[in-house]
Structure 1
Amino acid sequence: MDYAMKSFSVLTTSSLSKCVTASASMTQQLLTGRASRPRPFRVTNADRSLKKGIMAYSLADLINKVGESLSVLCVSGLVLDEDGTGVDTEGFFQALPENSVLMVLEKDQKWTPDTVRELWKRTDVARLTFDLYKNNPEDFIGCLNVKATFYGVYSVSYDLRCYAAKKMLKEALRWAVFSMQAAGHILLGSSCYIEYLLQEEQAAKTLSLPQESRIRQLQSMLLGRASQGKPVLVGTAGGSRTTSAPLDGSKKSLNNLAD
Structure 2
Amino acid sequence: METTSSLFRSVSRRVWSPPQRPFRVCSWNREVKKGITAGTLEELKEKAAQALFITTVLTLVCEEDGTEVDSDEFLITLPDNTIFMALKPGEIWKPHPLLQRGGNKPGHSKPRTGKDIAQVTFDLYRTHPKDVFGSLNVKATFKGLYSVSADFQCLGPKKVLREALKFMSTLLHAAGHLLITSASVIRRIIHGADLLQGQQAQPVEYWE
- Partners of 2:157 and 2:133 lie apart in 1 by 7
TM-score, with length taken from structure 2:
0.56
The residue aligned with 1:81 is 63
The answer as to 2:155 corresponding to 1:163 is yes
Q: Which amino acid aligns with 1:138?
A: K
1:45 aligns with 2:30: no
Residue 214 of structure 1 is matched in structure 2 by none
Aligned length: 153
Q: Deviations over 1:99-133 (max 9, x none)?
A: 22211111211223445323279743222222233
Aligned Cα root-mean-square deviation (Å): 3.6
Mind listing any 5+ residue stretches in structure 1 that lack a counterpart?
1-13, 176-259
- What CA deviation, in whole Å up to 9, does each residue of 1:42-78 have, x standing for no partner? 3222223333333223222222222232232324211
Match for residue 215 of structure 1?
A: none
C-alpha distance 117-144 of structure 1, shift in aligned 2 (>3 A): same
CA contact (8 A) 1:143 1:161 kept: yes
- The answer as to 2:45 corresponding to 1:94 is no
Matches within 5 A, 1:64-213: 64-119=46-101, 123-163=115-155, 168=160, 171=164
Distance 1:27 1:128, change over 3 A: same
Q: In structure 2, do the counterparts of structure 1 residues 25 and 62 end up closer, same or farther at CA, with 3 Å as the change threshold?
A: closer
**C-alpha distance in structure 1 between counterparts of 2:160 and 2:10, whole Å:** 42
Identity across matched positions, percent: 39
- Judge conservation of contact 1:54–1:133 (CA < 8 Å) in 2: no
Q: Which amino acid aligns with 2:91?
A: Q
Which stretches in structure 2 are left out of the alignment for 5+ residues? Answer: 104-113, 169-208
Higher relative contact order (CA 8 A, sep 6+): 2
- TM-score relative to the length of structure 1: 0.47
Q: Flag the structure with higher helix content.
A: 1
